[in-house]
Structure 1
Amino acid sequence: MNASLHLPGRIVSLRRQLVLKGLLPMTVVALAMTATLAVMQFRALGSEAHAVARIQAVRLAGSVNGVMGDDALRDALTRALSRSAPTQRAILYRDDAPDLIVTSGRDAPHRHGLHVRLSTAAGQLETVSDASALRERRTAATLMCLLLGAGVCGVFFLARRAVEHDVAQPVDRLRARLVQALHPRGTHAGTPDDPVRAIDTLLDELVQLRARHEAAMADALRQRLQDIARHTRFVEQIGDHFRQPLQALSLFVAGMQPGEDLRQRAVLGQMRTSLTRLTELLDGLLEMARFDAGAVEPAPTAVLAADLFVRVRSHVEADAMRLGVDVRWRGGRVPFHADGALLVELLNRLVSCAVLSTPHGRVLVAIRRRGDAIRLEVRDNGMGVEPAEQARLFEEFTRLPGQPGYGLALAVARRIADTLGGHIGVRSSPGRGTLFWVELDHAAIGPASRGVVSALIRHAAS
């Protein structure tokens, strides 16, 4: 990284850089323009005063044309001078007679007058005009230019303070923050005195740190993917190694004939129940391991709620009939976009929990649309759950009241909801039932046409 504000040679401070390269040139230009304006004003005032004096000299020269005699000439010049206030003296130089000098009585010092010389028929005419008005105007112009220069200098000092407050100090603070962020323990070897170069050096370190961080993140991601693949293979191998003995043991128990001995029948029934529960435990643990390892990737497709209902009903129908539970379904015509297989597994676990905890009760399964989201609800009128226990329902080995098993169904359901990018929750009141809900953001799609809905329903029924 190369900084564009690097100065060759001696390192100077940022404030001096800003003054030397920014404010000072503009101030010098402004002062030069002020001086130029003063010179132009002086010249304009002098030109104007000389033009007025020359015009009056021309008038005086015209008053003596054709006049003969000293008295007549003096009288003509006197009358002309009375009508020309700025002109205070007229001198007529003659070759064949003495010079004729006429004054207006308002003589000014000779060195402060404006002298104009013209040629007339009677000789050379020189006029002297009062220059006090010119001096006053030049003095006013000088004061104006001095005030303008003082204003430029004042703006320079104010701008210098503003630059120090609004630019230099924030840059120093930025430098300090970069140093603190990159070297929180003060282990850096030092940075240049120039803040610009110092920030440039710190940014180089920041770029290098980001490159190392990205490389480390890439290595960590690659390691994580390898761990997921290894964990997935391990879970599959564990499942295979455990299932084979369990299946063999199940076949062995199924082939046993206890005869008429009631004690043997009871032992055989306990063995079958234990095998069933052990198989359920193994299935639950393997399911959680698959989701925790990231081995399950959702594959969203267009799904109709009726399709989910048909597939879930086939799983829970036997338990519902055995326990006398009335299961009702609402919202079968709602279409949405999600992974149908994972949703069936999720809904099956929630409905099974509701059916098993509500013997001789009612369970309502509903799917509805909320904006661009889809909400699944499973409501029962069972015994409910205490508020203190609701926060732990989706943890491992937490069972609903009166429900058999190891309490893994809701833990797996939470992992399925997380995999689908949704939210899962529960509301319950003791003695009034329980409501499980799942909300999938951005899963809703436009209402399906009657033909599409009918086709999906026929496909679900088949």
Structure 2
Amino acid sequence: MRRQLVLKGLLPMVVVALALSIMLGVQHMRAIDAESQAVARIQSMRIGSSLEGWSGDDALRNALASALSRSPSTRLAILHRDDAPGLVVDSGRRFDEARALRLLVNTSKGNLETVSDGSAAHERRVAGLLMTLLLCAGVMIVFAFARRAIEREVVAPVERVRSRIDRFLHPRGTHVAPDADEWHQIDALLDELVELRARHDAALADALRQRLQDIARHTRFVEQVGDHFRQPLQALSLFVAGMQPGEDLRQRAVLGQMRSSLTRLGELLDGLLEMARFDAGAVEPATVDLIASDLFVRGRAGIEADAARLGVDVRWRGGRLPIRTDPALFGELLHRLVANAVLSTPHGRVLVALRRRGDAIRLEVRDNGMGLEPGLETRVFEEFTRLPGHPGYGLGLAVARRIADTLGGRIGVRSSPGRGSLFWAEFDAMAIGASARTAAALSRHPAI
């Protein structure tokens, strides 16, 4: 991968940049040479123009000497004449002969040859060469930094991704050909990953289909068990209800115990069947928009008799909140938590409150009863965990936890021995905004 990125990506750009730098340096030095030649030619023409109007060797020599004195870069002037010997005038200045510029111009007196100093042009050419070398060196430095950056930002992450995919697919060793380049290795690993995902989806679909079949089978089993147990219990209940013990006190006591046992057995069967329905996944919530006061009215009607018998004062708060939930399941959860609080608080007070926290709804049932022991808080929602003073088999709160799980919420308890308990259940995305329908429902059902 590094070789491909360097050869196919960076190297062409570097070659183009170096070529442009060299071309720029060559053009710069050519421009220096052309400028030096032009300046020297102008000086030669100026020296040649100084010969106009003069005649005789001495006058021409003096004119050349005067012109050379005004041209500090020109050392020697030679006038070539066809009808007379040439005149040579030397200014006496000395410079490197290798850097001399020789030019020949035509004048009215003959061909004038001048020898000028080219040191300034040579220095400028050296400076241009150094500038070209520095520019090429800068291109190479940028190439080195870009190569390191590509290795760090592109090659290294891609290699890490390839290694992670390879370790995930082949934890016992790589199966990709080591001589293949990085891109082919990644492509092969992605093909394996796609194949693995397809197998996983197929296995997940089979597992889901098997789970649905198990749920259907468990649902049928629960229904059959319920029917087979309910029929004998109902027949036995009718038989006991029709018995007349007469005046015998012992028979009356036995008949009362039978009726109580049948009632508790029915409650146990109902609790077990309800837990089995939740555990089998046979309960699907059907959410609707409603007002909390609708649930409070049904909840108060279901607990009113027990509250009056035990002398418990039940207060309700938050009935005006609009919520989106399954009314049957949420009402059952509310009833079980309130019934548990009423049974734990004879001659006490119970506060039922529904609070909004953003888009979440929190149900709180607080009592000032006997409270729970510290070790009991962690087991209170387990099956067959009986609370002190509660009749039954300890299935009410276990069913309440399953209802909260089915509704997608959380349930918990906070308690202090002798000071009461707080049972709460919190549900995300259950709160909704008020609407015209909600306002109409509020007008029909005032807050409790």
Provide closer, same or farther for how the CA distance between residues 111 and 333 of structure 1 changes in structure 2, counting only shifts above 3 A.
closer
**Between 47-56 and 319-328, the greater mean CA deviation after superposition:** 319-328
Give the letter for the 2:444 counterpart.
A
- 1:216 is aligned to 2:209: no
Aligned equivalent of 2:306, options 301, 304, 319: 319
Displacement after TM superposition at 1:451 (Å)? 4.9
Give the equivalent residue in structure 1 for 2:90.
103
The separation in 2 between residues aligned to 1:27 and 1:185, in whole angstroms, is 43
Change (3 A) 1:372 1:151: closer
Q: How many residues align?
A: 446
2:231 alignment partner, one of 205, 222, 244: 244
Structure 1 stretch 245-254 or stretch 357-366: which is displaced more?
Answer: 357-366
Give the conservation status (yes or no) of the 8 Å contact 1:65–1:121: yes
Q: Does 1:394 align with 2:381?
A: yes
Q: 1:177 to 1:366 in 2, by over 3 A?
A: closer
Which residue in 2 is equivalent to 1:254?
241
Aligned-CA RMSD value: 2.2
Instruction: Output one character per residue of 1:411-436: Cα deviation in whole Å (capped at 9) or x when no partner.
Output: 11111112222222212111112222
1:306 partner amino acid: S
Measured after TM superposition, the shift of residue 257 of structure 1 is: 2.4
Deviations 1:328-357 (A, max 9, x none): 333333332222221221111112212222
Percent identical: 69
The 10-residue stretch of structure 1 (292-301 or 166-175) with the greater mean CA deviation from structure 2: 166-175
Distance 1:362 1:140, change over 3 A: closer
Alignment-mate amino acid for residue 441 of structure 2: V
The alpha carbon displacement at 1:32 in A equals 1.0
Alignment of 1:50-449 (within 5 A): 50-108=37-95, 112-186=99-173, 188=175, 190-447=177-434
TM-score by length of 2: 0.93
Question: Match for residue 9 of structure 1?
Answer: none
Cα distance in 1 between the residues matched to 2:267 and 2:19: 94
* Distance in structure 1 (CA, Å) of the matches to 2:4 and 2:135: 26
Tell me, in whole angstroms, the C-alpha distance in 2 between the residues paired with 1:428 and 1:87. Answer: 112
The equivalent residue for 2:444 is: 455
**TM-score (ref. length: structure 1):** 0.90
The Cα offsets for residues 113-142 of structure 1, whole Å up to 9 and x where unpaired, read as 222222211111111211222222212222
Indicate if the aligned counterparts of 1:308 and 1:340 stay in contact, CA closer than 8 A.
yes
Q: Tell me the CA shift for residue 302 of structure 1.
A: 2.6
Structure 1 regions of 5+ residues with no counterpart? Answer: 1-13
Q: Secondary structure at the match of 1:64?
A: coil
Moved more, 98-107 or 37-46: 98-107
Distance 1:440-1:164 versus aligned 2 partners, 3 A rule: closer
AA aligned opposite 1:244: Q
Please tell me whether the aligned partners of residues 166 and 174 of structure 2 are also in contact (alpha carbons under 8 angstroms). no
Are residues 304 and 150 of structure 1, via their aligned partners in 2, closer, same or farther at CA, if it must alter by over 3 Å?
closer
- Indicate conservation of the 8 Å contact 1:89/1:107, yes or no: no
Q: Distance in 2 between matches of 1:442 and 1:247?
A: 42
- Residue 447 of structure 1 deviates from its aligned partner by 4.6
Matched with 1:11 is none
1:3 match: none
Deviation sequence 1:347-388 (CA, Å, 0-9, x none): 111122122222233323233333333332222222111121
Deviation at 1:212, TM superposition (A): 1.8
State the shift of 1:83 in Å. Answer: 0.6
- Partners of 1:148 and 1:378 in 2: CA distance: 81
- What secondary structure does 2:101 align onto? strand
Greater CA drift, 380-389 or 222-231: 222-231
Q: Structure 1's 317 and 452: CA in aligned 2 closer, same or farther, altered over 3 A? A: closer
**By how many angstroms is 1:239 displaced?**
0.9
Instruction: Give the letter aligned to residue 408 of structure 1.
Output: L
Moved more, 64-73 or 185-194: 185-194
- Partners of 1:158 and 1:374 in 2: how far apart? 58
1:90–1:127 contact (8 Å) kept in structure 2: yes
Q: Distance in 1 between matches of 2:16 and 2:176?
A: 43
**Contact 1:335 1:444 survives alignment (8 Å):** yes
Distance 1:228 1:430 in 2: 41
Distance 1:344 1:264 in 2: 40
Distance, in Å, in 2 between the alignment partners of 1:313 and 1:337 is 20
Any conservation in 1 of the 2:245–2:251 contact (CA below 8 Å)?
Answer: yes
Matching residue's letter, 2:14 = T
Q: Which amino acid aligns with 1:71?
A: D
Q: What is the alpha-carbon distance in structure 2 between the residues aligned to residue 289 and residue 430 of structure 1?
A: 32
Task: State the AA in 1 paired with 2:249.
Answer: L
CA distance in 2, matches of 1:57, 1:127: 6
Deviation of the 1:191 alpha carbon: 4.8
Deviates more, 1:360-369 or 1:125-134: 360-369
**Aligned position for 1:6:** none
Which AA in structure 2 matches 1:409? G
Q: Which moved more, 1:319-328 or 1:270-279?
A: 319-328
Deviates more, 1:211-220 or 1:80-89: 211-220
Gaps of 5+ in 2: none
Q: Distance in 1 between matches of 2:141 and 2:115?
A: 43
Q: Distance in 2 between matches of 1:217 and 1:45?
A: 79
Runs (4+) off by over 4 Å: 107-111, 447-451
Question: CA contact under 8 A between 2:167 and 2:174: conserved in structure 1?
Answer: no
| Partners of 1:290 and 1:186 in 2: CA distance | 47
**Which of 5, 16, 33 is 2:3 aligned to?**
16
Between the aligned partners of 1:235 and 1:192, the Cα distance in structure 2 is 61
More moved, 273-282 vs 113-122: 113-122
Q: Provide closer, same or farther for how the CA distance between residues 368 and 121 of structure 1 changes in structure 2, counting only shifts above 3 A.
A: closer
Cα drift, residue 397 of structure 1: 0.7
